[in-house]
């Protein structure tokens, strides 16, 4: 699989900063299990930004899509 098709895993802090959301809100969503997280090499939780965005889109209320 080409490298450009593999999405990087990022820390919760990096994901929150890049999306402009609160870190505590992202941590809570991961802890509740609504956003998948990964711990491939230890205890640090990692996420895919696309999965965070998918969750945000799915929770949209009202407005145009």
pLDDT tens digits, residue range 11-46?
999 999 999 999 999 999 999 999 999 999 888 999
Pairwise CA distance, residues 42 & 56, whole Å: 27
Instruction: Write down the pLDDT at residue 21.
Output: 96
Domain locations in the chain as residue ranges: 1-39
User: Taking the C-alpha atoms of 31, 35, 39 and 43 in order, what is their torsion angle to the nearest 10 degrees?
Assistant: -20
User: Residue holding tokens 């939780």?
Assistant: 45
Q: How many CB atoms within 10 Å of residue 38? A: 12
Instruction: Write down the pLDDT at residue 61.
Output: 76
Question: Is residue 1 pLDDT above 80, yes or no?
Answer: no
pLDDT digits (tens, 9 = 90+) for 40-49: 988 899 999 9
């Amino acid at each position: 699989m080409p490298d450009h098709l593999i999405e990087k895993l990022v820390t919760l802090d990096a994901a929150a900063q890049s999306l402009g959301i609160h870190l505590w809100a992202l941590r809570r969503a991961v802890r509740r299990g609504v956003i998948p997280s990964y711990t491939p090499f230890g205890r640090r939780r990692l996420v895919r930004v696309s999965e965070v965005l998918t969750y945000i889109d799915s929770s949209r209320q009202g407005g145009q899509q």
